[in-house]
Amino acid sequence: MSKILIIEDEGSIADLEKDYLERAGYKVLVENDGTAGLEKALREDCDLVVLDLMLPGIDGFEICRKIREEKNIPILIVSARKEDIDKIQGLDLGADDYMTKPFSPSELVARVKAHLGRYERLVGTGRTPAEENEIVEVRGIRIDKTARRVWVNGEEKTFTNKEFDLLTFLAEHPNHVYSKAELFHEIWKMESVGDIATVTVHIKKIREKIEYNTSNPQYIETIWGVGYRFKI
Ligand code: CA
């Protein structure tokens, strides 16, 4: 599981960021003060830092510079002031991305995901085998993409190849509604045998394994007349 450090002195913003990132399956640490934040960024084995600029103690500019001297983890700058973002871009302190407050928390999650993916591809080696496995975690469902294994509330469940691919695809694209045709195209690709009714059958099988009550699904929602959506 990737670990993210949030350095942010506004409690409500830190809470919102933490909440969304945790729901996306990340382990999240929060520091409200620049000095403690920098210390944690250097000491803890974090995979990404979400950094505010105006902070008590050491400010975000200095924190960014210091982290960059020692680590190449992604740094995502979040600031209420566009001038500060312009300034840090101008100083070229090595931040990877910038967001102006207020921002959409889903946008933050999307950017974090993108940067972590890119970073992990760049780093590649130097991690223990367990950490190399690509894991997708959503509300009690843990998908190990590398080992192709799935746990639901800690209990391992067995899925066929296509069920696994379909569940993983939906879990990796939460809150996005896909039509049966889109899912069929995505999962079955060139294997044009069968038809989109196959999707319905597979969704039913997946629900039997992951849902507590299949008539009131908490994960894969049916959007009538449109398709399916994985709820986050
Ligand atoms: Ca601040």
* Span from the CA of 8 to the centroid of ligand 1 (angstroms): 6
Domains of the chain (ranges, CATH numbers): 3-124 (3.40.50.2300), 135-230 (1.10.10.10)
pTM (global) more than 0.75: no
Could you tell me the two tokens for 107?
């946008």
* Span from the CA of 185 to the centroid of ligand 1 (angstroms): 46
Q: For the stretch 30-44, what's the b/e string if a residue is b when 16 or more beta carbons lie within 10 angstroms of its beta carbon?
A: bbbbbeebbbbbeee
Is 162 within 8 Å of 202 (Cβ atoms)? Answer: yes
Question: Which amino acid is residue 11, in one-letter code?
Answer: G
* Span from the CA of 59 to the centroid of ligand 1 (angstroms): 9
* Span from the CA of 100 to the centroid of ligand 1 (angstroms): 12
Residue 223 pLDDT more than 60? yes
Is 70 within 8 Å of 42 (Cβ atoms)? Answer: yes
Reported as a single tens digit per residue, the pLDDT across 177-204 is 999 989 998 898 765 556 788 899 999 9
DSSP character at residue 149: E
* Span from the CA of 188 to the centroid of ligand 1 (angstroms): 48
Reported as a single tens digit per residue, the pLDDT across 100-148 is 988 889 999 999 998 898 887 777 655 544 456 788 988 889 999 888 8
Helix segments in the chain, DSSP class H = 11-23, 34-43, 60-70, 82-91, 105-123, 129-132, 161-172, 180-188, 197-210
C-alpha span between 110 and 102 (Å, rounded): 16
Averaged pLDDT for residues 205-212: 95
C-alpha span between 199 and 202 (Å, rounded): 5
Closest CA to 197 of 218, 183, 178, 213: 183
Q: CB atoms < 10 A from the CB of 6, how many?
A: 26
Could you tell me the two tokens for 110?
């999307």
- For residue 154, what pLDDT is reported? 86
* Span from the CA of 116 to the centroid of ligand 1 (angstroms): 24
C-alpha span between 171 and 191 (Å, rounded): 22
Closest CA to 227 of 172, 165, 184: 184
C-alpha span between 28 and 90 (Å, rounded): 29
Distances (CA, A) of 83 to 9, 86, 87, 207, 222: 19, 5, 6, 49, 45
* Span from the CA of 10 to the centroid of ligand 1 (angstroms): 6
